[in-house]
Homo-oligomer: A and B are copies of this chain.
Amino acid sequence: MSKIGIIMGSKSDLPVMQEAIDILNQFNIDIEVDIVSAHRTPEKLFDYGKNAHTRGFSVIIAGAGGAAHLPGMIASLSPLPVIGVPVKSSNSIDGWDSILSILQMPGGVPVATVALNGAKNAGILAAQIIGSSDAQVQEKIIAYKEDLKAKVLESSKTLEY
């Protein structure tokens, strides 16, 4: 069965990345979580990127902040779709560096970038990718979207003005 790799540059990114973990757990999709620092553990980065597709992963979610090289370097090394989560870390300039370092990849090496701190959306996107060839997972996405809708419709009933 499909498995999603979730990695982040530092343990301090975990509070942001937890939302990807939670939503994929909610979808009952198998995950593996690890810390891989492009700048401090380049050998681990290399091994991770080179081997992920042979280790049963379908998608990799990589979160990092500041000069965020982790998603792009994994994308350089792996044929898998890589989802990048720009993290507004303590050393980031309001998130602009994180976004641009992840988004602006050169032709040939895409990273599927989500919103700043958008780890939940990274998880949903990973599920959608699996769902694009797995009808059961796609059904879960459809149900999830129906649930979002129901909650908004419900909340509008409570408006007082």
Interface residues of A (CB under 8 A from B): 2, 9-11, 14, 18-19, 21, 31, 33-44, 46, 49, 53, 58-59, 66-67, 69, 72-73, 75-77, 79-81, 83, 91-97, 99-118, 120-122, 124-125, 128-134, 138, 141-142, 144-145, 148-149, 151-153, 155-156, 158-159, 161
Contacts and interface: CB of A to CB of B under 8 A. Distances in A.
A38 B11 CA distance: 25
Given A11-B155, A114-B112, A129-B129, A93 B100 contact: yes
Given A110-B124, A129-B132, A67 B161 contact: no
A158 B105 contact: no
Task: State the oligomeric state as a number of copies.
Answer: 8
Contact of A72 (B19, B69, B112): B69
B128 A104 contact: no
B35 A105 contact: no
8 interchain residue pairs of minimum CB distance: A112-B112, A110-B121, A133-B133, A35-B156, A97-B100, A110-B125, A97-B104, A79-B141
A120 to B, nearest CB: 5
A91 B114 contact: no
Contacts of A38: 69, 72-73, 76
Contact of A108 (B49, B110, B148, B155): B148
